[in-house]
Chains A and B, each alone.
Chain A
């Protein structure tokens, strides 16, 4: 038996060496694979971190923008509401000022002129009567002309156009 073993010793030695070499190669390949997998995983992790950071930054930016936009809109809303209030106040004061014309000594002449105006516009067949709040109203067949003081004041404010913007112009 010993003789056989001795005789096969070079073969078994060679096989062993080959096996060791193969094992070393496999270990090296496995280590290489592991290193590569690790590198890929690290890169993927880094990419994910970068992406998450970018997503977080852009989300934070978007939120900050949204807050800024909301605040800006609120400020603008307040400014526009104030302008609207000023225009309404102008209208109120204009109507009050025109209604005060009833106490003016020239009021009867004004009413006469408004009667003429109503007939010029709506036709001579209009029945023109005084409006309870001042001014006149003409009524005909299927037609009506409103020359009451309140309506005239409203038209005067509407006719102001860009003049009204002087109320808030700096």
Chain B
């Protein structure tokens, strides 16, 4: 609601780093949004980090450079940051706080919502079902995304997780039903941001994408807000406008580092690796905002992307994320071709709810299980071959090795601009299992084998 006569506080007691201490305030609360006007008329924004009696500590997004205690006026919004919500976000490119970067007017909305939001009420949550097709064979075939699910991409520095996230965001669809993507780029370099923007240009022009770009040199406090803005916009698109929404949050490790910095500025007691003790519940407050609501047509699917510092999967960020999300897609250098997905370490726990007759293909679950079982056997055969040499392996083991090779070349390897239909993915998956003798395919029904199996000679 518009306040026609907001109070501006002019008694700035202290300026310290990115913080302003304002004296004489009344009724100001924790996390409240603030607007700071300089003598020059320039306007900056901030968040209340701490409020104690008549003192409020405000962290300024843009920093305090050029600010003087005299002449600075601080206005408090009376509530945490709220943003307009509505269809107007679609097709827009904004910074991490929702201000336009595309040269357009500010984004308008039919309503407004607090960005802090709330996870769905567990008693009003419908289990995820129906797939989100990404056009990436390794994901659609083996770790299918399900509408309303949260599934993370775990990666290491130097791997193309951002390209994969952008490719998924550019290609994903729900087979004809209204679909939107909200992409929150968190702590990206300018070059990475440009790549993401180029990849997503077409979807943006089609009015199906909202892109939030928080760059590496943007304020950390803004980085803490960016995923919340994305989820707030997504919730309205899904549960009011009835669209299926995929929210891509990349890179969540940058988010956690920003959270650590803000926590340290607030003087909180650090926990594991100096991250705040509430990192787990904070991450859950983001990831749990996905889901489906009974009686409403839309869904929010969350795909957080995170890099594991030094490839360490026990690092607090991947560790805690893994507890919350319903599966993970693991990228590894051991797989030499793009998209570098390790099929045996990747898992979609909700897959069963999203695949099968009427959704993807009747044999989908069995075929995926068969491929994974065969890849596990091929891995054992490869380990054996390292000791005794491939020539000493039996014929069946050699067929398993050939199958693993076919999997990598025909199903997994994919160009960065290549969107594969479900039909093509399944054709390739059948080619892969057809490298094995039919007698080895015990997880597939005879009817499915009759329809899909074509033994290679």
A binding-site residues for B, Cβ under 8 Å: 58, 62, 65-66, 69, 72-73, 76-77, 80-81, 83-84, 86-87, 114, 117-118, 120-122, 141-147, 152, 155-156, 158-165
Complex: how many Å from CA A124 to CA B359?
Answer: 66
- Contact among A66, A76, A118, A161 with B5 in the assembled complex (CB-CB below 8 Å): A118
Contacts of A164 in B (CB 8 A): 105, 108
Closest-CB distance, B295 to chain A (whole angstroms): 25
- Contact among A66, A86, A118, A165 with B108 in the assembled complex (CB-CB below 8 Å): A165
Check A84/B104 contact, CB under 8 A, given A72-B201, A76-B205: yes
Contacts of B4 in A (CB 8 A): 117, 147, 152, 155
Inter-chain residue pair count (beta carbon < 8 A): 95
Closest-CB distance, A24 to chain B (whole angstroms): 35
The answer to whether B392 has its CB under 8 Å from any CB of chain A is no
Check A162/B8 contact, CB under 8 A, given A73-B201, A80-B102, A81-B103: no
Check A147/B5 contact, CB under 8 A, given A72-B201, A162-B108: yes
Complex: how many Å from CA A62 to CA B415?
Answer: 12
User: Is B103 in contact with A143, judged by CB distance below 8 angstroms?
Assistant: no
Contacts of B105 in A (CB 8 A): 80, 83-84, 86-87, 164
Which partner residue on chain A sits nearest B104 by CB separation? A80
Complex: how many Å from CA A159 to CA B106?
Answer: 12
Complex: how many Å from CA A161 to CA B110?
Answer: 7
Check A145/B205 contact, CB under 8 A, given A81-B104, A87-B105: no
Which partner residue on chain A sits nearest B86 by CB separation? A162
User: Is B10 in contact with A142, judged by CB distance below 8 angstroms?
Assistant: yes
Residue among B2, B108, B109 having the largest count of chain A Cβ atoms under 10 Å? B108
The answer to whether B88 has its CB under 8 Å from any CB of chain A is yes
Contacts of B205 in A (CB 8 A): 72-73, 76
Complex: how many Å from CA A87 to CA B88?
Answer: 14
Complex: how many Å from CA A162 to CA B108?
Answer: 5
Chain A interface, DSSP helix/strand/loop, else mixed: helix
Which partner residue on chain B sits nearest A79 by CB separation? B104
The answer to whether B280 has its CB under 8 Å from any CB of chain A is no
Residue among A142, A146, A163 having the largest count of chain B Cβ atoms under 10 Å? A142
| Residues of B411-453 whose CB lies within 8 A of A | 415, 417
Contacts of B73 in A (CB 8 A): 144
The answer to whether B23 has its CB under 8 Å from any CB of chain A is yes
Which partner residue on chain A sits nearest B1 by CB separation? A159
Contacts of B5 in A (CB 8 A): 114, 117-118, 120-122, 145-147
| Residues of B74-91 whose CB lies within 8 A of A | 84, 86, 88, 91
Q: Could you show 19 A-B contacts with beta carbons less than 8 Å apart?
A: A69-B201, A72-B201, A76-B102, A76-B204, A80-B103, A84-B100, A87-B105, A141-B24, A142-B11, A145-B6, A145-B8, A155-B2, A160-B108, A162-B86, A162-B108, A162-B109, A162-B110, A163-B108, A165-B88
